[in-house]
Chain A
Amino acid sequence: MDGPMRVLVTGGSGLVGRAIEQVVKEGERREGEEWIFLSSKDANLMSAEETRSVFQKHRPTHVIHLAAMVGGLYKNMRQNLDFWRNNVFVNDNVLQTAHEFGVVKVVSCLSTCIFPDKTAYPIDETMIHNGPPHESNFGYAYAKRMIDVHNRSCFEKYGRRYTAVIPTNVFGPHDNFNIEDGHVLPGLIHKTYMAKKEGKALQVWGSGRPLRQFIYSLDLARLFLWVLRDYDEVEPIILSVGEEDELSIKDAANAVVEGMGFKGDVIYDTSKADGQFKKTASNAKLRKYLPDFKFTPFKAAMKETCDWFVANYDIARK
C-alpha cells in the first residue's frame, strides 16, 4: 500500500478509542495520516447498510475495530443472547465490509475473559478455542472468539492479514462508570466517589479475592498503534502487564481508595458473585517483540483516572 494510512476507529468514543485518540494527538500521528474516530452516533454497526455507508464515506485503508456491546459481569449474566447476536452482527459487518473496501489491515479487540474457563495458567494466544468460556459471559465470549475464526478463514481465502489484540482488564478515563453494568475498576471508582460524597461506607461486590491483570488505557493505546503498524501475524497477541503484576480486587480497591482520598469503611459483600477467580495471561509474546515497553505504574494510572472522573463527573458515562 502506497501513501499514508487513513485509519477508521470504530468504538472511537469508548474507553480504548479515546485513549488512542489521545496518543495519536500527542505525538503518535505520522505525516499525512488521517484518523477518524466513529461512535454509535455515526453508524449503527449492527446494520450492514449503515456499516457500508460509513465505509463508503471514509474509504479507510486501515481499521481499528473496537465497537462492541460490552458490559460487566452482572449484565452479561442477564443477556447472553443479546451479547452473542449483537456482537456477531457488528463484527461480521465491519470485517466483511473492510474486505470489500480493500482495507489493508483490521486490528480487532478481543479479551482474556473469552478464554476457556477450565484451563492451565498462564493462558497464551494459542489457547483461545481450547474449551468453553466461563458460563457468566458465554454469549460475549463466543462472539469475540469468532473474530479470530473470521480472521483466519479470511487469510486462508484472500490472504488478508486481519488480526486482533487481547487485552486483560482495561481501565482509564472515558470508561463506562455505570455501577450496575460497568467493569470492576470504573465501578469501584464511581462507588468510592459516591461513598465519599455521601459520607457512607464503600461496598465492594464479591470477596475481593479474585485476581486480575490491569492495563491502563493509554498504554494499551500505544500498543494498538504498534500492532497496527508493525505486527504482521494473523494470530492475535495478548497485551498486558506481566504475570508478576497480577493484583487482587482488594489491591485494586485499596488503590482506588487512595486515589480518591477516601477515609471511610470498606465492606465486602460476599453474597455477590466473584466471576472467574483468575485469568492469568502470559505476555511473553509481547515481550518477545517489545522487551523494553514500559507500562504506567498502577497507582499513578489509578490516580490519573480518579482525578479525571472527579473533574468530569457530569459528562462521564454512568
Chain B
Amino acid sequence: MDGPMRVLVTGGSGLVGRAIERVVKEGERREGEEWIFLSSKDANLVSAEETRSVFQKHRPTHVIHLAAMVGGLYRNMRQNLDFWRDNVHINDNVLYMSQEFGVVKVVSCLSTCVFPDKTTYPIDETMMHNGAPHESNYGYAYAKRMIDVHNRACFQQYGLRYTAVIPTNIFGPHDNYNIEDCHVMPGLVHKTYLAKKEGKPLEVWGSGRALRQFIYSVDLARLFVWVLREYDEVEPIIASVGEEDELTIKDAVDAVVEGFGFKGEVIYDTSKSDGQIKKTASNAKLRKYLPDFKFTPFKAAVKETCDWLAANYDIIRK
C-alpha cells in the first residue's frame, strides 16, 4: 500500500477509542495520516447496510475495530443471547466490509475474559480456543473468539493479515461508569467518588480476592498503534502488564481509595459473585517484540483516572 494510512476506528468514543484519539493527537500521528473516530451515532454496526455506508463514506486503508456490545460480570450473566448475536453481527459486518473495501489491515479487540475457564496459568495466545469459556459470559466470549476464526479463515482464503489484540482489564478516563453494567475499575472509581461525596461507606461487591492484571487505556492505545503499524502476525497478541504485576481487587480498591483521598469505611459484600478468580495472562510475546515498553505505574494511572472522573462527572457515561 502506497501513501499514508487513513485509519477508521470503530468504537471511537469508548474507553480505548478515546485513549487512541489522545495518543494520536499527542504525537503518534504521522505526516499525512487521517484518523477517523466513529461512534454509534455515526453508524449502527449491527446493520450491514449502515456499516457499508460508513465504509463508503470514509474509504479507510486501515481499521481499528473496537466497537462491541460490552458489559461487566452481572450484565453478561443475564443476556448471553444478545451478547452473542449483536457482537457476531458487528464483527462480521466490519471484517467483511473491510475486505470488500480493500482494507489492508484490521486490528480487532479481544479480551482475556474469552479464554477457556478450565486452563493452566499463565494463559497465552495459543490457548484461546482450548475449551469452553466461563459460564457467566459465554455469549460475549464466543463472539469475540470468532473474530480470530474469521481472521484465520480470511488469511487462508484471501491472504489478508487481519489480526487482534488481547488486553487484560483496561481502565482509564472515558469509561462506562454505570455501576450496574460496568467493569470492576470504573465501578470502584464511581462508587468511591459517590461514597466520598455522600459521606457513606464504600461497598465493594465480592470478596476482594479475585486477581487481575490491569492495563491503563493510554498504554494500551500506544500498543494498538504499534500493532497497527508493525505487528504482522495473524495470530493475536496479548497486551498486558506482566504476571508479576497481577493485583487483587482489594489492591485496586486501595489504589482508588488513595486516588480520591477517601477516608470512610470500606465494606466487602461477599454475597456478590467474584466472577473468575484469576485470568493470569503471559505477556511474553509482547516482551519479545517490545522488551523496553514502559507501562504507566498503576497508582499514577489510577490517580489520573480518579481526577478525570471528578473533573468530568457531569458528562461521564453512567
**Chain A residues at the B interface, C-beta cutoff of 8 Å:** 78-85, 88, 92, 96, 129-132, 138-139, 142, 146, 149-150, 152-154, 156-158
Contact = CB atoms under 8 A, between A and B. Distances in A.
B92 A149 contact: no
Given A81-B153, A84-B150, A142-B146, 8 more contacts: A82-B157, A85-B92, A146-B88, A146-B146, A149-B84, A150-B85, A153-B81, A157-B82
- Chain B residues touching A, majority SS: helix
7 contacts: A78-B157, A80-B157, A81-B154, A84-B150, A85-B92, A85-B96, A131-B130
B156 interface: yes
A155 B152 CA distance: 31
Interface stretch (B131-139, B245-253, B268-276): B131-139
B157 A149 contact: no
A80 B129 contact: no
Contact of A131 (B84, B85, B131, B150): B131
Contact of B156 (A80, A92, A150, A152): A80
A88 B88 CA distance: 9
B289 interface: no
B296 interface: no
Contacts, number: 71
- Of A96, A130, A149, chain B has the most CB atoms within 10 Å of the CB of A149
A96 B129 CA distance: 26
A81 B150 contact: yes
B131 A157 contact: no
B92 A88 contact: yes
Contacts of A142: 146, 149
A9 to B, nearest CB: 24
Interface string B152-195: 11101110000000000000000000000000000000000000
Contact of B138 (A81, A88, A149): A149
A146 B92 CA distance: 14
Contact of B131 (A92, A129, A149): A129
B88 A139 contact: no
Contacts of A81: 150, 153-154, 156-158
Interface string B91-106: 0100010000000000
Nearest to A128: B132
Contact of A79 (B84, B85, B129, B157): B157
B53 interface: no
Contact of B132 (A78, A85, A130, A139): A130
B142 interface: yes
Contact of B79 (A80, A88, A139, A157): A157
B150 A146 contact: no
B192 to A, nearest CB: 33
A132 B129 CA distance: 6
Nearest to B142: A149
Contacts of A79: 157
Given A92-B88, A129-B132, A130-B132, A157 B80 contact: yes
Which of B81, B96, B142, B146 gathers the greatest number of chain A CB atoms within 10 Å? B81
B149 A84 contact: yes
B132 A84 contact: no
Contacts of B78: 157
B138 A153 contact: yes
B129 A131 contact: yes
Contacts of B130: 131-132
A149 B139 contact: yes
A223 B187 CA distance: 51
A84 B154 CA distance: 10
Contact of B85 (A82, A84, A85, A92): A92
A120 to B, nearest CB: 14
B149 A139 contact: yes
Nearest to A139: B153
Contacts of A131: 129-131
A2 B106 CA distance: 51
A116 B78 CA distance: 28
B297 to A, nearest CB: 38
A138 B146 CA distance: 11
A103 to B, nearest CB: 15
Given A79-B157, A84-B149, A154 B81 contact: yes
Contacts of B85: 92, 96, 150
Q: Which of B130, B139, B149 has the most C-beta atoms of chain A within 10 angstroms of its own C-beta?
A: B149
Contacts of A88: 88, 92, 146
A132 B138 CA distance: 16
Contacts of A83: 153
Contacts of B132: 129-130
Contacts of B157: 78-82
Nearest to B155: A81
A69 B282 CA distance: 38
Interface in B248-295: none
Contacts of B154: 81
Nearest to A78: B157
Contacts of A152: 80, 138
Contacts of A132: 129-130
